Amino acid sequence: MRVLIDTNILLDFLLQREPFFQDAERLFRVIKSNQITGYATATTLTDIFYIARKHTSSIEQARQAVSETMTAMEICSVDRRILETALSSGSADFEDAVQIACAVVQRLDAILTRDTQGFLNSSVPVLSVVSCLQQLEESDSE
């Protein structure tokens, strides 16, 4: 399964944000074991750096968060085509529209998020981390 991981889920893991950390940690273990291939947008990396630096007051920890993400995830390019698609989508949330456009272009199987409202217009299935992991467990038991 190839999935785009929403920025907030990545931050949940990297910053160990409760009460979401445990699910994000389970997801990263599944990604590390190659049962799922995780994708993040290039713009997510700038968001991670900014938020991690603000949260930790450390440039080095912010760089480490970006490095961890780049090691674990495939990175989706964000170019003019992606941005134009996101702008013309009519979505009120530009960041989510960029992520949807990337998932479509990459032909990903799903987008994992806690914010399903921002992804209502997605043509790519939208799942929570828990439902994705449940689907994976069910397919493994068949």
Report the C-alpha gap between 115 and 128 in whole angstroms.
9
What does the pLDDT look like over 89-129, one tens digit per residue?
Answer: 988 889 999 999 999 999 999 999 998 877 888 999 999 99
In this prediction, residue 142 carries a pLDDT of: 64
In this prediction, residue 141 carries a pLDDT of: 67
Q: For the domain that residue 42 is a member of, what is the CATH number?
A: 3.40.50.1010
Tell me the residue range of the domain where 97 lies: 2-141
Report the C-alpha gap between 125 and 109 in whole angstroms.
7
**pTM of the prediction?**
0.92
Q: In 3-state terms, what secondary structure has residue 102?
A: helix
Q: How far is CA 121 from CA 4, 10, 39, 126, in A?
A: 16, 22, 20, 10
Domain count, the chain: 1
What does the pLDDT look like over 33-67, one tens digit per residue?
Answer: 999 999 999 999 999 999 999 999 999 999 999 99
What does the pLDDT look like over 10-26, one tens digit per residue?
Answer: 999 999 999 999 999 99
